[in-house]
Amino acid sequence: MSNQEWPLWEIFIRSKAGLDHKHVGSIHAADSTMAIEMARDVYTRRMEGISIWAVESTNIHASNPDDAGIFYEPSNDKIYRHPTFYELPDEITHM
Amino acid sequence: MNNSLVEYIMHLADNSLIHGHRLSEWCGHGPILEVDIALSNIALDNIGAARSLYEYAAEIEGNGKTEDSYPYFRDVRQFKNSLLVELPNGNFADTIAKCLLFDAYQFYFYTALKNSTDMRLAAIAEKSLKEVTYHLRFSSEWAVRLGDGTDESKQKMQHAIAEHWEYAGELFAPSNIELEMIEKGIAPNMEALKDVWQQKLAETIEQATLSFPLSNEKGWFQSGGKKGIHTEYLGFILADLQYMQKTYPNSEW
């Protein structure tokens, strides 16, 4: 018996046609076929979905939480980036 | 006629119930969480199929029978499941071998039962076939993973297939009730299913890099379950399954 752990996979489920795949959790599996079938058994038993994506967790690249300050805070005072910041002249219709 | 039909439905229901009950014993003991859940799902599919069948039998029989009358209030000799499904789970390879033989049988059986002249059975077959197609995929893939895995898993898988092989023949040997049902177009011709079943198993076993078990010259197999003559295991299964109803008759929750 090998002590090597199976790789971790992130599972994304589309709940119905037209919606996006959403992250639902992760599982261990030896390969993508096994990952999708195990995801079916673990995450779709209560009619949660109609499509499954499995992505090996090592292939997910995430931003560094330490960067939160320089990444996201500068946009806090840029309300003019929201369309609602602008007042529409009355003459403009169909907006 | 109706008695025979009830008997026949009972045989099908008992197969699913006992197989499902055995698989439910894996709950909390699976080799990994995901497989534990998968086996429990498959157990529930089987018990669900058994319920539809018992319900149908109860409707035909009347006399206040319900779907619960059959699993909870019959004794060993009245159960008509094949011996294969009552065998102990053994190790994971044993369970996979048992599932592979049984799932492949159910796959071809339900495919054929969809054409039954009995509309209710045809409908149950249609619904069950979707579930069984997945069961067969699950057991086939695991048989290949174990067979084509490590030396240890290969040896265990080979041993498991050989051990269970002699119990599979009974699935395709029609009882008198089955012959009567085949005659009426209610049941499919079991013997005709055996060739495609064997073909499918040969393919899976080859893919799993295992060798096909050699059946002996006379093609002898273990049998008796369809007539109510069981291994010693079924009594213990029923002791578990019927405990609540026997201790607290007619209790509900």
pLDDT along chain A (95 residues), means of 10: 80 95 95 95 92 96 93 89 88 82
Measured in angstroms, the CA of A42 and the nearest CA of chain B are apart by: 6
pLDDT of B233 higher than 60 = yes
Helices B92-113 and B190-207: angle between axes, nearest 10 degrees = 140
CATH number, domain with residue B242:
1.20.1260.10
Which chain A residues touch B38 with a CB distance below 8 Å?
Answer: 37-38, 41
Two tokens at B236? 């213990």
Residue B253 domain-assigned (yes or no): no
Residue B25 domain-assigned (yes or no): yes
CB contact under 8 A, A41 and B41: yes
Neighbours of B161 (CB within 10 A): 27
Q: Specify the pLDDT at position A2.
A: 55
Q: Specify the pLDDT at position A90.
A: 87
Query: Distance (Å, rounded) from C-alpha B15 to C-alpha B86?
Result: 9
A30 touches chain B (CB under 8 A): yes
Average pLDDT of the residues of chain B = 94
Two tokens at B118? 């009995």
Fold of A8-85: Ubiquitin-like (UB roll) (3.10.20)
Q: Which of A1, A33, A38 shows the shortest C-beta gap to B38? A: A38
Residue B252 domain-assigned (yes or no): no
pLDDT 10s digits, B211-230 = 987 665 567 889 999 999 99
Residue B70 domain-assigned (yes or no): yes
Q: Specify the pLDDT at position A1.
A: 46
Window A:44-63, CB contacts with B under 8 Å: 45
pLDDT mean over B171-200: 94
Amino acid at B93: A
Amino acid at B120: R
Give me the percent of chain B exceeding a pLDDT of 70.
Answer: 98
Q: Enter the pTM of the model.
A: 0.89
CB contact under 8 A, A41 and B34: yes
Q: Structural domain tally of chain B?
A: 1
Residue B10 domain-assigned (yes or no): yes
The sign of the CA dihedral B97, B238, B242, B109 is: positive
Q: Which of B34, B42, B136, B148 to mutate to test the interface with A (most CBs of A within 10 A)?
A: B34
Q: Helix (H, G, I), strand (E, B), or coil: what is residue A15?
A: coil
Residue B100 domain-assigned (yes or no): yes
pLDDT 10s digits, B58-84 = 999 999 999 999 999 999 999 999 999
pLDDT band of residue B47 (cuts 50, 70, 90) is very high
ipTM above 0.90, yes or no: no
Two tokens at B154? 């290969």
> What is the extent of the structural domain holding B57?
2-247
Query: Distance (Å, rounded) from C-alpha B97 to C-alpha B160?
Result: 6
Which chain B residues touch A37 with a CB distance below 8 Å?
Answer: 38, 137-138, 141
